[in-house]
């Protein structure tokens, strides 16, 4: 009788696990459909179109790749945070998360490596949801959180550690993102953000002439936002352990971007190329890396303490700050935009 009870218990546990997986899949599909309905409705409203930052002349493209906020929550000034190489489930990640939350950012963007060490389903909620559940919508994890608005406010980029899981499946299952969810773009206030996938596992390629590269070039050409910002994991330029990655040195500036944010190296560094900043922001929680010889254009290098970036965007200026976990501003750069 004891053995029978154990068998029944295992069977019930198996069935419950399958039910949870099915329910989660259905809920994610419904959430994606609802986002599409909101987006299409947004484009159908001529008043909203006038007030939007993206010209809705290509509704099929916009509906597929853009995630809009309602007009009531969009503003001329947008404050958001950028974190990178953070998902280590340790005290440093907790301190960075606490720092970021004190800013009350409109949303959080990442530059990859969201789930150490191997992108597994067993660790992703502890690596991400434990600290940022209140920004993720819909949230399917187990950590208690206080939802603010029924809109996603957490936008990650894929990193190489996320791809260590076959097909980056846990990442793609955990987050509900626009487009194909591997690379996508969103508009928030005066900012247009483009998230790329620079891992070799990306089926659409990682070169400037790949399907993904052509997509970015075309989307940047369509953008009418004051600021076009690119997020990619592998740093185009870096003076640290991994160094510069030539395969991500796309012609971002010529295509219309004003700044590129990256990670992979666990440091903070600002490299200036032809007046445009290339930021390495990989100090979000994992062990910090040493610096080697400075690459050409390296203006600021910092690897003393972990931290995050606070970005303040208006129609005329973009102010980028790296702040360490002691709340000390390490670097500040202000740019004047094309709307100024």
Q: Mind listing the pLDDT tens digit for each residue in 260-274?
A: 999 999 999 999 999
- Among 83, 270, 93, 84, smallest CA distance to 161 is for 84
pTM of the model: 0.81
Is residue 4's pLDDT more than 90?
Answer: no
Cα radius of gyration rounded to whole Å, the chain:
20
Rounded CA-CA distance 149/146 in Å is: 10
Which residues lie below 8 Å from residue 214, measured CB to CB, with a gap of 6+?
none
Is residue 44's pLDDT more than 80?
Answer: no
Q: What is the mean pLDDT of residues 111-136?
A: 98
Rounded CA-CA distance 53/227 in Å is: 10
pLDDT at 76: 82
315 compared with 10, residue with greater pLDDT = 315
Rounded CA-CA distance 164/255 in Å is: 31
Query: Whole-number mean pLDDT of the chain?
Result: 84
pLDDT at 80: 98
pLDDT at 75: 54
E strand or H helix that includes residue 217: helix 211-222
pLDDT digits (tens, 9 = 90+) for 89-98: 999 999 999 9
Rounded to the nearest 10°, the torsion over CA 153, 193, 295, 283 is 0
pLDDT at 326: 98
* 54 phi/psi in degrees, rounded to 5: -120, 130
Is residue 1's pLDDT more than 70?
Answer: no
- The alpha carbon of residue 14 and the mean position of all alpha carbons in its chain are separated, in whole angstroms, by 34
Which residues lie below 8 Å from residue 335, measured CB to CB, with a gap of 6+?
258, 259, 277, 317, 318, 319, 320
Instruction: Give me the sign of the Cα torsion angle 163, 137, 71, 340.
Output: negative
Residue 284 tokens read as: 């979000």
- Among 29, 11, 9, smallest CA distance to 21 is for 29
pLDDT digits (tens, 9 = 90+) for 128-160: 999 999 999 999 999 998 877 789 999 999 999
How many CB atoms are located within 10 Å of the residue 17 CB?
10
Rounded CA-CA distance 17/153 in Å is: 28
- The alpha carbon of residue 221 and the mean position of all alpha carbons in its chain are separated, in whole angstroms, by 21
The CATH number given to 2-336 is 3.60.21.10
E-state strands within 49-126: 78-83, 108-110
């Amino acid at each position: 009788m004891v053995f029978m009870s154990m068998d029944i218990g295992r069977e019930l546990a198996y069935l419950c696990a399958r039910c949870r997986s099915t329910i989660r899949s259905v809920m994610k599909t419904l959430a994606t459909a609802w986002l599409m309905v909101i987006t299409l409705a947004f484009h159908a409203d001529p008043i909203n179109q006038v007030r939007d930052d993206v010209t809705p002349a290509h509704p099929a493209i916009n509906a597929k790749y853009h995630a809009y906020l309602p007009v009531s929550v969009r503003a001329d000034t947008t404050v958001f945070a950028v974190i990178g190489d953070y998902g280590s489930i340790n005290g440093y990640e907790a301190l960075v998360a606490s720092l970021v939350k004190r800013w009350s950012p409109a949303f959080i963007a990442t530059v990859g490596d969201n789930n150490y060490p191997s992108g597994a389903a067993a660790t992703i909620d502890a690596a991400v949801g434990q600290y940022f559940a209140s920004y993720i919508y819909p949230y399917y994890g187990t950590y208690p959180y206080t939802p603010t608005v029924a809109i996603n406010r957490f936008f990650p980029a894929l990193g190489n550690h996320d791809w260590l899981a076959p097909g980056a499946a846990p990442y793609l299952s955990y987050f509900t993102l626009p487009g194909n969810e591997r690379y996508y773009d969103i508009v928030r206030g005066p900012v247009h953000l483009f998230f790329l996938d620079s891992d070799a596992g990306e089926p659409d390629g990682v070169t400037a002439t790949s399907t993904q590269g052509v997509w970015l070039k075309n989307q940047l050409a369509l953008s009418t936002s004051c600021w076009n910002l690119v997020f990619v994991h592998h740093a185009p330029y870096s003076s640290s352990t991994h160094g510069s990655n030539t395969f991500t040195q796309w012609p971002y500036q010529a295509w219309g971007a004003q700044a590129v944010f990256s990670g992979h190296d666990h440091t903070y560094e600002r490299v200036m190329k032809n007046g445009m900043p290339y930021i390495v922001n990989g100090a979000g929680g994992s062990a910090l890396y040493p610096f080697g010889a400075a690459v050409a254009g390296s203006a600021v290098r910092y690897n003393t303490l972990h931290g995050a970036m606070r970005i303040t965007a208006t129609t005329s200026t973009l102010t980028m700050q790296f702040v360490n976990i002691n709340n000390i501003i390490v670097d500040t750069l202000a740019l004047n935009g094309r709307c100024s």
